[in-house]
Amino acid sequence: MKIDLSRTVKNKSNQLNSDDFLGLENHELIIKIRDVVDSGSEDQPTHIFYEGDNNKPYKPNLTFRKILLALWGEDGSYYIGQSMRLYVNKDITWGKEKVGGIEISAITGIEKDSTVIVVGSLGRKKAYPIKKLVLKIDNNQALKDAGLIAAQKGMEAFTIWGKSLSAEQKT
The answer to whether 26 touches 87, Cβ cutoff 8 Å, is yes
**H/E segment holding residue 169:** helix 167-170
Looking at residue 137, what is its pLDDT? 65
pLDDT of 23 > 90? The answer is no
When pLDDT is averaged across residues 76-89 and rounded to a whole number, the result is 93
Maximum C-alpha span of the chain: 68
Q: What is the pLDDT of residue 45?
A: 94
> Nearest 5 degrees, angle CA 93-CA 98-CA 104?
60
pLDDT tens-digit map of 47-75: 999 998 888 999 999 999 999 999 999 99
Q: How far apart are CA 33 and CA 78, in angstroms?
A: 10
Residue 139, pLDDT above cutoff 70? no
Name the amino acid, one letter, at 56: K
Taking the CA of residue 93 as centre, how many other CA atoms within 13 Å lie in the half-sphere pointing to its CB?
5
pLDDT over threshold 70, residue 7: no
Per-chain mean pLDDT for the chain: 85
pLDDT at residue 12, rounded to an integer: 63
Please report, for residues 25, 49, 59, 87, 145, the alpha-carbon distance to residue 129 in angstroms, rounded to integers and kept in the order given: 21, 23, 20, 13, 34
CA distance linking residue 132 with residue 71, whole number of Å: 11
With a pLDDT cut of 90, the percent of the chain lying above it is 44
Q: Which alpha helices (DSSP H) does 10-138 contain, by range? A: 62-72
pLDDT of residue 54: 85
Q: What is the pLDDT of residue 34?
A: 95
**How distant, in Å, are the alpha carbons of 68, 82, 133 from that of 40?**
18, 23, 29
Examine the pLDDT at 8 and tell me if it is beyond 90: no
Q: Is the confidence at residue 82, as pLDDT, over 70?
A: yes
What are 85's strand-pairing partners?
30, 106
Q: What is the value of pTM for the model shown?
A: 0.72
More confident residue, 78 or 14: 78
Is the pLDDT at 40 greater than 80, yes or no?
yes
Q: Which of 11-15, 52-56, 87-91, 143-147 has the lowest mean pLDDT?
A: 143-147
Q: Provide the angle, in degrees to the nearest 10, between the axes of the packed helices 155-163 and 139-153.
A: 140
At 159, which helix (H) or strand (E)?
Answer: helix 155-163
